[in-house]
């Protein structure tokens, strides 16, 4: 008995050394005797993986039955959130509260500024009773001005701009720095679509630039009916609707004018950039035929000046706009709405044949610019046969006369890149079909489409000369293009 008692301490110490030599997280409890189950202890790893009931013995009954190793985690995970999680969430909530508090202080300053402006205008003498309340447009303009003033942290860098004293007189009060107008100047500014919009030149100067436009640019992009456009210019109610077109004409034709009021060539260059940006901004804010015409003028001038990449985004926007305005289809070809949801119609039906032809020409000018960009870049064109069903424009003299055609112009088929490189070409217009009603503009459209087809063919029609079948398909497509060109 003494020998056995002397051996017990040694065996215990050896067991402790054996257990301590194992990993800290996962140890196998090799106990010869089955111990009582701990109801509060964790289940073994095998039972947790199988989501089975564990007897929490060492080894448990499930591990004994399946003859697997019974392993327990020495460290028992405590339920609840980790230490510091509540403090972290509290800090994040406090940060959000501080942000909202700062916004509240800023808006309080804005409201105080607006209240002071309103009280000053209400107390000003000579203010009629019908003008006592601020309109929505005036409040929005005051809010923009106040936000710009509060956000201004320093002087605006104007190293690339000309000195304001060098600007023409009609641009002296259109500084791009955010300032708050007052009095009559504020009322003039509120009439503009946005605060930094450039003022138009005097009326007589605008009219002279319109004459330059019709003499130099109109033959290349014939989309304005000369007689009706001048009648709208003379109408006091219609002239404001042409403002964006006037800005585009000033931007493109100022360099052709010798009027001293336009300033030096450097001033004209800055003016061109200023009005071009104004046209783009105003055209993106609303959909109308006039805004689309202004974009066409600016895009044509940009491409003609050798700055094609600057016009690509404008042309891309124009191609989407003509589809949204439904200018890519004839009015009589618009299918009746049978679906549950009807497409939004932005334009009213045309009142006269002249207006109908003008919208048709707006589309075809956009079509030509889209094809020019596609030819120059090698990109796929945006307007395809899936979206386009338009008649060719009529001869210019017939349009200027204003008499509806007895025989309408023929439809023109455009290419569809979705049909693949081996797809059929669009059918050419039969010779003699409404030959007397079409003119140079229609022929330009046909020639541009043929050039686009040739460019797409040589860019996209890959051929492996070692495969006779591919060579045969390439020759077949080549003959189709050749027949289209000689017709």
Per-residue pLDDT at 126 exceeds 50:
no
- The arithmetic mean of pLDDT across residues 461-477, rounded, is 83
Task: Say if 35 falls within a structural domain.
Answer: yes
Determine the pLDDT at residue 429.
61
- The pTM of the full predicted model, rounded to 2 decimals, is 0.58
Percent of all residues in the chain with a pLDDT value above 70, rounded to a whole number: 64
Which residue has 């060109």 as its token pair? Answer: 485
Percent of all residues in the chain with a pLDDT value above 90, rounded to a whole number: 18
Determine the pLDDT at residue 149.
64
Determine the pLDDT at residue 451.
86
32-77: per-residue pLDDT in tens?
334 455 666 788 888 988 888 888 888 899 899 888 888 887 765 5
- DSSP code, position 430: P
- What long-range pairs does 227-235 form, CB within 8 A, spacing at least 24? 227/400, 227/402, 228/354, 233/207
Determine the pLDDT at residue 80.
61
Q: Do the beta carbons of residue 408 and residue 434 sit within 8 Å?
A: yes
Instruction: Please compute, for residue 266, the number of CA atoms within 13 A of its CA located in the half-sphere on the CB side.
Output: 7
Task: Say if 61 falls within a structural domain.
Answer: yes
Task: Say if 24 falls within a structural domain.
Answer: yes
Determine the pLDDT at residue 411.
83
- The arithmetic mean of pLDDT across residues 309-317, rounded, is 86
Look at residue 244 and give its three-state secondary structure: helix
- DSSP code, position 466: T
Q: How confident is the model at residue 426 (pLDDT cuts 50, 70, 90)?
A: low
Which residue has 């060719």 as its token pair? Answer: 392
Give the pairing of strands 26-28 and 71-73.
antiparallel
Per-residue pLDDT at 320 exceeds 80:
yes
Rounded distance between C-alpha atoms, residue 466 and residue 471, angstroms: 8
Query: Residue 57: which residues within 8 A CB-CB, separation 6 or more?
Result: 34, 35, 36, 37
Task: Say if 302 falls within a structural domain.
Answer: no
Here the tokens at position 92 are 């994040």
Look at residue 384 and give its three-state secondary structure: coil
Task: Say if 354 falls within a structural domain.
Answer: no
Structural domain harbouring 36: 20-73
Here the tokens at position 401 are 């006369």
74-107: per-residue pLDDT in tens?
765 555 666 777 787 888 888 877 777 766 666 6
Q: Do the beta carbons of residue 484 and residue 425 sit within 8 Å?
A: yes
Task: Say if 28 falls within a structural domain.
Answer: yes
More confident position, 197 or 358 = 358
More confident position, 124 or 181 = 124
**Which domain CATH number covers 49?**
4.10.240
Task: Say if 32 falls within a structural domain.
Answer: yes
Task: Say if 129 falls within a structural domain.
Answer: no
Q: Locate the DSSP E strands across 63-186.
A: 71-73
Neighbouring CB atoms inside 10 A of 412's CB total 22
Q: How confident is the model at residue 146 (pLDDT cuts 50, 70, 90)?
A: low
Ramachandran category for residue 120: left, alpha or beta (phi over 0 → left; psi -120 to 50 → alpha): alpha
What mean pLDDT, rounded, does the chain reach? 74
Look at residue 73 and give its three-state secondary structure: strand
Which residue has 């979705």 as its token pair? Answer: 418
Our count of domains for the chain comes to 1
């Amino acid at each position: 008995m003494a020998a056995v008692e002397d051996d017990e301490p040694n065996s215990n110490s050896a067991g402790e050394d054996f257990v301590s030599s194992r990993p800290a997280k996962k140890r196998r409890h090799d106990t010869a005797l089955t111990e009582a189950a701990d109801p509060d202890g964790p289940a073994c790893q095998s039972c947790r993986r199988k989501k089975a009931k564990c007897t929490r013995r060492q080894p448990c009954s499930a591990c004994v039955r399946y003859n697997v190793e019974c392993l327990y985690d020495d460290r028992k995970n405590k339920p609840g959130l980790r230490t510091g999680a509540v403090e972290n969430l509290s800090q994040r909530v406090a940060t959000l509260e501080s942000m909202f508090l700062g916004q509240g202080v800023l808006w309080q300053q804005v409201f105080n500024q607006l209240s002071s402006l309103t009280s000053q205008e209400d107390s000003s003498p000579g203010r009629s009773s019908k003008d006592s309340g601020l309109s929505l447009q005036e409040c929005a303009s005051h809010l923009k001005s106040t936000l710009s003033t509060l956000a201004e942290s320093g002087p605006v860098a104007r190293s690339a701009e000309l000195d304001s004293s060098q600007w023409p007189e009609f641009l002296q009060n259109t500084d791009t720095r955010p300032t708050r107008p007052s009095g009559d100047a504020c009322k003039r500014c509120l009439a503009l679509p946005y605060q930094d919009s450039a003022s138009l030149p005097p009326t007589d100067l605008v009219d002279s630039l319109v004459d330059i436009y019709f003499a130099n640019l109109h033959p290349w992009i014939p989309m304005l009916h000369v007689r009706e456009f001048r009648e709208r210019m003379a109408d006091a109610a219609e002239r404001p609707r042409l403002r964006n077109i006037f800005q585009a004409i000033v931007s493109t034709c100022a360099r052709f004018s010798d009027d001293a009021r336009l300033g030096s060539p450097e001033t004209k260059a800055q003016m061109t950039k200023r009005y071009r940006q104004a046209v783009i901004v105003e055209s993106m804010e609303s959909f109308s035929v006039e805004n689309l015409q202004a974009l066409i003028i600016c895009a044509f001038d940009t491409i003609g000046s050798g700055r094609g990449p600057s016009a690509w985004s404008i042309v891309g926007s124009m191609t989407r706009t003509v589809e949204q305005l439904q200018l890519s289809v004839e009015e009589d070809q618009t299918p009746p709405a049978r679906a549950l949801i009807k497409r939004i119609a932005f334009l009213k039906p045309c009142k006269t044949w002249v207006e109908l032809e003008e919208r048709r020409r707006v589309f075809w000018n956009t079509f030509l610019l889209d094809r020019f960009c596609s030819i120059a870049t090698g990109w796929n064109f945006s307007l395809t046969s899936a979206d386009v069903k338009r008649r060719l424009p009529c001869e210019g003299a017939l349009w200027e006369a204003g008499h509806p055609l007895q025989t309408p112009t023929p439809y023109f088929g455009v290419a569809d890149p979705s049909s693949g490189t081996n797809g059929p070409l669009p059918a050419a217009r039969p010779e003699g079909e409404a030959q007397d009603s079409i003119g140079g503009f229609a022929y330009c459209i046909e020639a541009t489409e043929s050039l686009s087809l040739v460019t797409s063919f040589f860019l996209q029609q890959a051929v492996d000369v070692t495969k006779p079948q591919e060579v045969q398909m390439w020759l077949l497509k080549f003959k189709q293009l050749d027949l289209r060109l000689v017709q």
